[in-house]
Structure 1
Amino acid sequence: MGNGKVWLVGAGPGDVGLLTIKGMKVIEEADVVVYDRLVGMGILSLIPDKARCIDVGKTSGNHMMSQEGINKLLLEEAKNGNRVVRLKGGDPFLFGRGGEEIELLVKEGIPYEIVPGITSAISVPAYNGIPVTHRDFTSSVHIITGHKKKDEEYDIDFSALVKTKGTLVFLMGLSELGSICKGLSDAGMDKNMPVAVLERGTTAKQRKVISDLSTIEETVRLNNISTPAIIVVGKVCSLSKGFSWYEKLPLAGCRIAVTRPKELISGLSEKLRIKGAEVIELPAIRIEPIKENLALKQSISNLASYQWIVFTSPSGVNIFFEEMKSMKADIRSLAGLKIAVIGEGTLKMIEGRGLYADLVPSRYDAENLGKELGAICFEGDRMLIPRADIGNILLVEEIKKRKNVVIDDIPTYRTVYEGSRIINEKEEFQNRNIDYALFTSASTVRGFVSVTEGLDYGLVNAVCIGAQTKKEADGHGMKTQMAEKATLDSLVRLVEELHEKQRQGNEK
């Protein structure tokens, strides 16, 4: 087997939006992803299913894999012909030991690329309203590792740093904050120099404390600031109050789990991220088309015999038209058919095909579609309903209550329950690390429950798109809220309202 290749990819500081386009592309094409604990959960949730994932941040014994072990792992995986992504928090060449990881690759003749990442030294202050340079305060910035070996003195020339009069950014230095402040003070820095300590920057759990050189250690202790955190020393820290912007976004500080199928998740995630939320994509179900679906093929071959075609989900639309394509069935064969759909997502999917619905129910659920369709169709009409194999029976029942029609209710896909391979969903909810779980169907609730067995569901704040979804979540004891309308925009508005109430409650 020929050699593969290694990419050292900087994942950035945590916010998935700060992962570079090239970084995302390389991850999507990976055979193996080797990652560590500083990579944000939102980015880990984007790793494709086909990629084998190796966590080198911890093992079953909670011990870090040695750097030498990581180096050998990258070499071995590449020698096996794999496209290997070494995914690292921040930038691989800024205190990321990237240089050490490529030394062995160079020696063994393994091809590699470096994909720079956005460093926390610049981005985390920016998310806290601190420009690391400003013409009125400083013209330089200096990035220093705050980490030192146990029982050893700092190999840092504090006097030289103080003389620069620049902004100083210490990475990985929270445990040595006292030593850093003493070193700067002993080197002549003004004890009133502003200092900021920024915790979990660019994530929903972002926090900051700002004080001065003489009091920052006590301020950090009183506020229980913990790692990961960076230390910023300089006059620019005084700008934070006036320049802060992230916390003003409507969903800032909110971490949300989105459980839609992977192929449908991006639109909802983007709506939430624009408003400042940290989104963790945790698809609870996977859509699996039914292979060699003879019933569907036969129906497509006889579309002229139907008066109505009914779509109940975006997945149903996609699978139906993919089958038409595989059969080389011309879209003109739909001429004369009336189209009924449930929901805005399904409607948009139809319109994307150049078609328009004849019926969209006033309320987006199977029962109301059945009632309204039954009211306007004619006796003897023939209807095609290509949908999930566990579709809501109320749709067919409500139609037949009103008219004597022929219905071909054809399963076109199965809903398979699944969980994350990387993120321990049960643990995240038990530790109250996720503020809300968004459910867009009863099946997403069932899928979530299937992979979090034993979880106290009273810890789950479930935001549901409709009555059936809420009923399913209620049945498991979740704390439920239902959107006013069964649309993604209404779902997002509800999350905003809930988060604002929580904010106001915390401020009292």
Structure 2
Amino acid sequence: MGKKGKVWLVGAGPGDPGLMTQRGLDALRRADVILYDRLVHPVILLKASPHAVWVDAGKTPRGRRMEQKEIHRLLISHAAKGKRVVRLKGGDPFIFGRGGEEAEALVKAKIPFEVIPGVTAGIAGPAYAGIPVTQRGISTELLFRIGARAEGSVRGKTLVGYMTVQGMDEFLERALDLGFTHSTPAGVIEWATTARQRVITGTIGTLTTLARRENISAPAIVVVGSVVSLRKKLKWWEGQVLTGKRIVLTASETLGKGWRECFEDLGAEVWEIPMTHIQPLIPDPDWISKIEKAQWLVFTSASAVRCFPKAVGDLRKVAGCKIAAVGKATADVLRTIGLEADWIGRGTGSDELVQGWPPWAKGRILHLTGSAGDDTMIQLFRKRGYLADRIMIYRNQGGRSVPKPVQDALREEGADWLVFASGTAAIRFRRLFPRLKKIRHVVAIGAATARAAHQAGWKVSCVAKEPSAQGVLRAMIKVS
């Protein structure tokens, strides 16, 4: 009999992909088979191996559902075949997640397993709404309840209800039976910690009416207790520049390094779906000869900069060269490899760089580029009388496959912003999503990218004046 696999019962957190634990992400990346729930954020699924087998084990209220016994059977059968199996559940697997039942089934089948806790929505949802579930002098005890169930005394307590939207009337009536009053503050948080989060507050007597008026639906968390009144002065999530905005980044991991953090710091929900993968090429002996003959080395992308040390081998070989960067962002990346730009362009592409080239910058020019580029810049320089050449030091390959659940979610829900950092990305993304309709805005990193995006069928809302995350951000804010 073959070696048994293992099952990881993993909590994916309350919604925001950044709230999933590092240990949970590590398990996800190594998984052969992933059984995921309906409430797991699609961006989390992007972290898995592209070779993983996906199984939708979600349960939709009053809709399609996979029975619990079938989930047990699949966990056991895949693990028995020697597979690494992740059971990915929203929130925490052991808090109203039936993780205990699954663990019991695995024990009975003698399948090894591990539990990786997750941040539960009953704590994270109120936190994102500016409601501390405990507060000295107000609430010193926290109760988690499911559905309409509520029991016990209420003095100094906060009551948090899971899966209570359908039975909110009954849940709040039970709260009254416990000793809460009609005037006790109460709130409901829909799609907590995600771009779709909405918060409605009122009292036990008014919350149901308010929630119905705003069409609040599952998933949602209900909070009852005096701590809800603290939201008025503690709410923090709503006030950020990009709060509630979903941004899809299509740049390669190399080019897009640090971009996600830039947008998340302002409250955005960021989906990274890279359309390109940068593969450094094996150095060609002819490269060194061309580099040593050049008076100017021109860099028009972060990818070229990061691949350059491998291409040249010893940076002392460029001691006699001057360095040009297309913009400030590329110059910043140059500094990370120990090179300082002698001239920094103000444009966002080849045309702008050549047009702005300073008269004092004489000598042979060498453009370091990738396979997706062409000789447009070289021809422009030659027309102006310069000796110019280019070498391709990296290959611009297609990005990793995008899991079907992620594709389905994007088609159904759309996004506020689609960011293209290259024409290649715009073309490849259109091939992947030929009829993607629910996109509010498209931003391009430069004029050349905007033209390629337009040709691919995208309606570009704005173009960054500087090829960087900050340049893109400034362009977006002007439109917003």
Could you tell me the TM-score, scaled by structure 1's length? 0.85
* Whole-angstrom CA distance in 1 between matches of 2:374 and 2:408: 28
After superposition, give the CA deviation of every residue in 1:338-380 in whole Å (9 maximum; x if it has no partner).
323323443333222112223322213112333455845546x
Q: How does 1:164-243 map to 2 (within 5 A)?
A: 165-243=156-234
Offset of residue 302 of structure 1: 6.0
Does structure 1 retain, via aligned residues, the 8 Å contact 2:417–2:441? yes
Q: Counterpart of 1:330?
A: 314
Aligned length: 476
* Whole-angstrom CA distance in 2 between matches of 1:80 and 1:297: 49
Offset of residue 99 of structure 1: 1.1
* Whole-angstrom CA distance in 2 between matches of 1:45 and 1:391: 28
* Whole-angstrom CA distance in 2 between matches of 1:460 and 1:447: 19
Which amino acid counterpart does residue 340 of structure 2 have in structure 1?
Y
Offset of residue 142 of structure 1: 0.2
Does structure 2 retain, via aligned residues, the 8 Å contact 1:386–1:412? no
Change over 3 Å in CA distance of 1:104–1:19 after alignment to 2 = same
Q: Counterpart of 2:67?
A: 66
- Does 2:296 correspond to 1:304? no
Q: Counterpart of 2:350?
A: 366
- One of 306, 315, 319 as aligned partner of 2:303: 315
After superposition, give the CA deviation of every residue in 1:443-473 in whole Å (9 maximum; x if it has no partner).
222122111113348x441122221222233
* Whole-angstrom CA distance in 1 between matches of 2:82 and 2:328: 45
Offset of residue 491 of structure 1: 1.3
Q: Percent identity?
A: 35
Q: Counterpart of 1:101?
A: 102
Structure 2 alignment gaps of length 5 or more:
none
Offset of residue 224 of structure 1: 0.6
Does structure 1 retain, via aligned residues, the 8 Å contact 2:42–2:409? no
Q: Counterpart of 2:78?
A: 77
Which amino acid counterpart does residue 189 of structure 1 have in structure 2?
F
* Whole-angstrom CA distance in 2 between matches of 1:219 and 1:437: 34
* Whole-angstrom CA distance in 1 between matches of 2:332 and 2:34: 35
* More divergent stretch after superposition (261-270 vs 121-130): 261-270
Change over 3 Å in CA distance of 1:470–1:126 after alignment to 2 = same
* Whole-angstrom CA distance in 1 between matches of 2:112 and 2:409: 38
Does structure 2 retain, via aligned residues, the 8 Å contact 1:20–1:117? yes
Offset of residue 266 of structure 1: 4.3
Offset of residue 245 of structure 1: 0.9
Does structure 2 retain, via aligned residues, the 8 Å contact 1:374–1:403? no
- One of 325, 330, 335 as aligned partner of 1:346: 330
* Whole-angstrom CA distance in 2 between matches of 1:224 and 1:104: 38
- One of 465, 486, 491 as aligned partner of 2:467: 486
Which amino acid counterpart does residue 321 of structure 1 have in structure 2?
P
Which amino acid counterpart does residue 315 of structure 1 have in structure 2?
S
* Whole-angstrom CA distance in 1 between matches of 2:375 and 2:314: 31
Change over 3 Å in CA distance of 1:259–1:404 after alignment to 2 = closer
Q: Counterpart of 2:477?
A: 496
Q: Counterpart of 1:123?
A: 124
- One of 442, 448, 464 as aligned partner of 1:462: 442
Does structure 2 retain, via aligned residues, the 8 Å contact 1:289–1:319? yes
* Whole-angstrom CA distance in 2 between matches of 1:26 and 1:432: 27
- Does 2:404 correspond to 1:403? no
Offset of residue 132 of structure 1: 0.9
* More divergent stretch after superposition (12-21 vs 50-59): 50-59
* Whole-angstrom CA distance in 2 between matches of 1:35 and 1:301: 54
Change over 3 Å in CA distance of 1:428–1:491 after alignment to 2 = same
Offset of residue 438 of structure 1: 1.5
Offset of residue 113 of structure 1: 1.8
Change over 3 Å in CA distance of 1:80–1:301 after alignment to 2 = farther
Q: Counterpart of 2:403?
A: 421
* Whole-angstrom CA distance in 1 between matches of 2:141 and 2:309: 58
Offset of residue 411 of structure 1: 6.2
Change over 3 Å in CA distance of 1:205–1:19 after alignment to 2 = same
Q: How does 1:429-468 map to 2 (within 5 A)?
A: 431=412, 433-456=414-437, 459-468=439-448
Does structure 1 retain, via aligned residues, the 8 Å contact 2:348–2:465? no
Between Structure 1 and Structure 2, the one with more helix by share is 1
Q: How does 1:375-386 map to 2 (within 5 A)?
A: 375-376=359-360, 378=362, 381=364, 383-386=365-368
Does structure 2 retain, via aligned residues, the 8 Å contact 1:374–1:400? no
Does structure 2 retain, via aligned residues, the 8 Å contact 1:170–1:232? yes
* Whole-angstrom CA distance in 2 between matches of 1:464 and 1:365: 12
Could you tell me the TM-score, scaled by structure 2's length? 0.90
Q: Counterpart of 1:150?
A: none
* Whole-angstrom CA distance in 2 between matches of 1:407 and 1:439: 27
Change over 3 Å in CA distance of 1:393–1:187 after alignment to 2 = same
Change over 3 Å in CA distance of 1:315–1:239 after alignment to 2 = same
Q: Counterpart of 1:21?
A: 22
Offset of residue 415 of structure 1: 4.0
3-state SS of 2:288 partner: helix
3-state SS of 1:174 partner: coil
Does structure 2 retain, via aligned residues, the 8 Å contact 1:371–1:399? no
Offset of residue 477 of structure 1: 4.8
Does structure 1 retain, via aligned residues, the 8 Å contact 2:372–2:395? no
* Whole-angstrom CA distance in 2 between matches of 1:445 and 1:216: 45
CA RMSD of aligned residues (A): 2.7
Does structure 1 retain, via aligned residues, the 8 Å contact 2:378–2:388? no
Offset of residue 426 of structure 1: 7.3
After superposition, give the CA deviation of every residue in 1:197-252 in whole Å (9 maximum; x if it has no partner).
11111111111111222222211111111111011111211221121111111211
Change over 3 Å in CA distance of 1:81–1:123 after alignment to 2 = same
Q: How does 1:145-164 map to 2 (within 5 A)?
A: 145-146=146-147, 156=149, 158=150, 160-163=151-154
Change over 3 Å in CA distance of 1:91–1:466 after alignment to 2 = same
